[in-house]
Amino acid sequence: MNFRENIQYIKGVGPKKAQALKKIGIGNIYNLLTYYPKRYSDQSEITAINAIEPDATVNIKGSILNVQEKTSHRGMKIITVILHDGTGTTQVIWFNQPFLKRSLKPGMSLFVRGKTGYAYNGYGQLCIKQVISYFLLDDTNNNQCQFLPLYTLPDMIKPKFYRSVLENVLSTLDNIPCALDRSIIAAYHLLSKTDALRKIHFPQTKNDIKESREMLIFEELFMIQCGLIYMRKINSQNKQGIRCLPNSNLVKKIYKALPFKLTDDQEKVWNEICLDMQSTRPMQRLLQGDVGSGKTVIAVMALVKAVENGWQGALMAPTEVLAKQHFDNFNKLLNPFGIKVGLLIGSLSAKEHNEALQYIKNGEWQIIIGTHALIQDKVQFAKLGLVITDEQHRFGVAQRARLETKAEQTPDVLVMTATPIPRTMTLTVYGDLDVSVIHQLPPGRKNIRTFLRTKNAREKVYQFVLAQIKAGRQAYVVCPLIELSENVGAASAEAIFEELRTGIFKDVNCALLHGKLSAKEKGKIMQDFFTNKVNLLISTTVIEVGVNVPNASIMVVEGAERFGLAQLHQLRGRVGRGSYKSYCILLSDSKSSKTKERLSLMEKISDGFVLAEADLRLRGPGQFFGAMQHGLPDLKIADVLNDTDILLAARKEAEKWCVKKKSMREIIETINLQYEDNFFKITDV
Ligand SMILES: Nc1ncnc2c1ncn2[C@@H]1O[C@H](COP(=O)(O)OP(=O)(O)OP(=O)(O)O)[C@@H](O)[C@H]1O
């Protein structure tokens, strides 16, 4: 069987349905097999119609008494089925699926899983308002299993059809590539891959679901670990890295010129980096440190070390605001020592841009700070020896790799992140890197006092902000994006800006910062904020990463419920960066007890790692990972938080297997099949 065969050619699919399936990532047969059910509906758990409660998800079974089609005043087709089960009758409502009128007939028996609510018809009857899945009970296909797999499918693809396609493919399944060797399958008492795939899609018992999940989770985590270990091996063994000498004059002078003494953690990390840079093995290191823990100074020292050894160093920041900030700070510190620092960002004029390219190419610039602009094809370095990416989760692994390829010899790579990543996840996300962590904050930092308040307290909160500003401090007000689109977010920030600027803060210099502004405008506003010309900065999350204004001591977050904890912690890290007592006030009117619980963790926990762990537990890895844009392929079935035991076992096996070159070929074939060559891209085995 050719697992890469286009799904379009499977019996019954055709071009239109294939297109719809492609949108959810199913382009070929292998994708189809590994598109796993989101959940299972236990069909034996049937709710009697007279026991239905509002706002619940229920399974009901009954016979159809009547099928009606209506058109709403907005032109939407509504199909209403009256279903009777001996205890009572209820309506089941579908929108815009007029074809149901033909397939559902009085007298037929129907299974429906759906959300309950009150009908819009004015009589307020309880009904099934949102159908999740349904099928006719006389349909033998569906009657067979107690556990009905539920998939997220496009409207056009009906669950019944989808299952028939799957059944068709599974019935002819042979020789499916499996990353796990027979000996691992036996040692861990796992199902064979073929059995696991059959049972995950067509389980007969609860145990089938459990066993098939175990096998597929093990295989998935094993593949990710093999990929990461292998990438690291290729980087470290086959490539000759550059070798720096032990620290000499320049590094020592700049170390002395720092306005503070490094913390013990900073010292430890600096030593680790020095050792990496002094070895011929290319450095591949992740530097994790909580917000404000002082990672930047470590980056500066590493860049200087590269320069002292005759190399160029590049630092790639996630935003122009941040690149500019680093550029200004680095220049202040390094210019007196004759080190040339340059800036390459998208908003340079054509002339400046060309000059920058020239200076990078001829080696005049020794340290180059930039954004994504650094990875354009046009950028050529004279002698790139060190690549630092700041906030790597905003780039992908692939982008990091692109910057590395701009060097003739394999450069040293340092990835910095302020997103505290729980330990179990570091292994999954950054399994290809060595890890250094700065836990300590610089001395003298005061805890940022955090409060959760409702909108009733808003007036009082802003009075407090005003008092702080009058005392000479600066403040941030962060507004959420209403939709995912930055456009809409700008509108909401705009409204708050207008309200504050013309109201309570009418005598204060306010500015509005959001993603719709040009990079130049953004730069100007940030400059005015750095120099205290602007006292109150109203902003969307553009300011989230890295901005360092020690005089800013208070932050108000509007609509705090819209942010994840990790993100709130990042935002909060913008204050408390100097010696002033600092505050973060979260405004939220959310009624949800879960949301309140989540936000109140911010009041209690100041350690970013502890908070990230809590966030992960509350929101689940999907959203946590989603927000991080980690650059790894989405896990198809494993959940790194709950599957920690399997993760550790898989890691152990992966380490053993990656030593054997011969067996790696098969594993990598499966990896490339599962992730469609778009993550690991391993060809050279
Ligand atoms: N050892 C130290 N002693 C005193 N102050 C320090 C020390 N290290 C760094 N700082 C100062 O602490 C502030 C935060 O440092 P830095 O910007 O490097 O943090 P960061 O880890 O990059 O934070 P973020 O992730 O939020 O960008 C800066 O003003 C910096 O000058």
The predicted-structure confidence for 426-435, as pLDDT tens digits, reads as follows 666 666 678 8
Strand 77-84 and strand 57-71: pairing? antiparallel
Tokens of 81: 């089925």
633 located within any domain: no
Same domain, 136 and 30: no
CB 406 within 8 A of CB 381: yes
126's CB contacts (< 8 A; 6+ apart) are 52, 53, 54, 90, 116, 117, 118, 119
For 618-654, the pLDDT digits (tens) are 765 544 444 343 444 567 888 766 777 888 888 888 8
Tell me: pLDDT of 122 over 70: no
C-alpha distances in Å from residue 114, one per residue of 70, 128, 146, 329:
20, 6, 17, 57
For 224-242, the pLDDT digits (tens) are 888 777 766 766 666 678 8
Amino acid 541: pLDDT: 77
Whether the CB of 291 sits within 6 Å of ligand 1: yes
Domain boundary among 605, 624, 655: 605
Amino acid 626: pLDDT: 42
Q: Which residue has the higher pLDDT, 433 or 36?
A: 36
CB 381 within 8 A of CB 314: yes
Amino acid 326: pLDDT: 92
For 298-353, the pLDDT digits (tens) are 999 999 999 999 999 999 988 888 898 899 999 999 999 999 999 999 889 999 99
Residue 312 CA to residue 553 CA, distance in Å, equals 36
Residue 142 CA to residue 144 CA, distance in Å, equals 5
CB 465 within 8 A of CB 510: no
Comparing 141-145, 253-257, 444-448, 461-465, the range with the smallest average pLDDT is: 141-145
Whether the CB of 266 sits within 6 Å of ligand 1: yes
Ligand 1 atom closest to the CA of 570, numbered from 1: 26
Q: What SS3 state is found at 109?
A: strand
Same domain, 51 and 136: yes
Tokens of 223: 């593949």
Domain boundary among 125, 144, 163: 144
Amino acid 195: pLDDT: 94
Same domain, 81 and 28: no
Amino acid 428: pLDDT: 63
**pLDDT > 70 in the chain, percent:** 85
73 located within any domain: yes
Residue 639 CA to residue 423 CA, distance in Å, equals 14
Tell me: pLDDT of 456 over 70: yes
211 located within any domain: no
Ligand 1 atom closest to the CA of 262, numbered from 1: 1
C-alpha of residue 33 to centroid of ligand 1, in Å: 49
C-alpha of residue 452 to centroid of ligand 1, in Å: 26
Whether the CB of 19 sits within 6 Å of ligand 1: no
Same domain, 36 and 98: no
C-alpha of residue 329 to centroid of ligand 1, in Å: 12
Amino acid 218: pLDDT: 94
CB 676 within 8 A of CB 636: no
Which domain covers residue 99, as residue numbers?
Answer: 44-144
Whether the CB of 288 sits within 6 Å of ligand 1: no
Measuring from atom 2 of ligand 1, which residue has the nearest CA?
442
Q: What DSSP letter does each residue of 179-227 carry, written as one string?
A: SS-HHHHHHTTPPPHHHHHHHHHS-SSHHHHHHHHHHHHHHHHHHHHHH
For 539-587, the pLDDT digits (tens) are 987 776 667 888 999 999 998 988 878 788 888 988 988 788 999 999 9
Q: What SS3 state is found at 131?
A: strand
Backbone angles phi, psi at 596, to 5 degrees: -60, -40
CB 449 within 8 A of CB 583: yes
Same domain, 33 and 94: no
Tokens of 443: 């001395």
Whether the CB of 263 sits within 6 Å of ligand 1: yes
Whether the CB of 322 sits within 6 Å of ligand 1: no
C-alpha distances in Å from residue 470, one per residue of 147, 473, 507, 526:
64, 7, 10, 20
C-alpha of residue 293 to centroid of ligand 1, in Å: 5
C-alpha of residue 624 to centroid of ligand 1, in Å: 25
104 located within any domain: yes
Amino acid 38: pLDDT: 86
Measuring from atom 1 of ligand 1, which residue has the nearest CA?
262
Residue 195 CA to residue 210 CA, distance in Å, equals 12
* Residue to mutate (ligand 1; options 266, 577, 584; most atoms within 8 A of CB): 577
For 395-410, the pLDDT digits (tens) are 555 556 666 677 778 8
Same domain, 475 and 592: yes
* Residue to mutate (ligand 1; options 254, 293, 574, 580; most atoms within 8 A of CB): 293
Same domain, 581 and 454: yes
CB atoms within 10 A of CB 363: 15
| Residue corresponding to tokens 């456009």 | 487
Residue 479 CA to residue 488 CA, distance in Å, equals 11
Residue 596 CA to residue 588 CA, distance in Å, equals 9
CATH number at residue 345: 3.40.50.300
Most confident region among 163-177, 269-283, 369-383, 480-494 by mean pLDDT: 269-283
**DSSP category for residue 9:** G
Tell me: pLDDT of 485 over 60: no
Ligand 1 atom closest to the CA of 299, numbered from 1: 18
55 located within any domain: yes
Measuring from atom 9 of ligand 1, which residue has the nearest CA?
294
215 located within any domain: no
For 206-220, the pLDDT digits (tens) are 899 999 999 999 999
Same domain, 32 and 51: no
Same domain, 470 and 584: yes
Domain boundary among 587, 605, 623: 605
Whether the CB of 551 sits within 6 Å of ligand 1: no
Task: Please compute the mean of the pLDDT values over residues 146-150 and round it to a whole number.
Answer: 82
For 72-110, the pLDDT digits (tens) are 888 888 999 999 998 999 999 998 888 888 889 999 989
Most confident region among 390-404, 497-511, 603-617, 634-648 by mean pLDDT: 497-511
Same domain, 506 and 385: no
Whether the CB of 548 sits within 6 Å of ligand 1: yes
Tell me: pLDDT of 615 over 50: yes
Amino acid 242: pLDDT: 86
Residue 92 CA to residue 83 CA, distance in Å, equals 7
Amino acid 138: pLDDT: 62
620 located within any domain: no
Whether the CB of 146 sits within 6 Å of ligand 1: no
Average pLDDT, rounded, for the chain: 84
Tell me: pLDDT of 358 over 80: yes
Q: What global pTM score does this model have?
A: 0.63
Same domain, 380 and 482: no
C-alpha torsion sign, points 243, 247, 253, 259: positive
Total residue count of the chain as it appears in this document: 685
Whether the CB of 442 sits within 6 Å of ligand 1: yes
Same domain, 390 and 272: yes
389 strand-pairing partners: 316, 415
201 located within any domain: no
Whether the CB of 577 sits within 6 Å of ligand 1: yes
Strand 384-390 and strand 367-370: pairing? unpaired
Residue 668 CA to residue 168 CA, distance in Å, equals 27
Greatest Cα pair distance in the chain: 90
Amino acid 427: pLDDT: 64
Residue 574 CA to residue 547 CA, distance in Å, equals 6
Number of domains in the chain: 4
Quick one: pLDDT band at residue 490, thresholds 50, 70, 90?
very low
Closest CA to 291 of 515, 612, 531: 612
Whether the CB of 260 sits within 6 Å of ligand 1: yes
C-alpha distances in Å from residue 682, one per residue of 153, 181, 230, 669, 685:
31, 19, 9, 9, 7
Residue 416 CA to residue 603 CA, distance in Å, equals 26
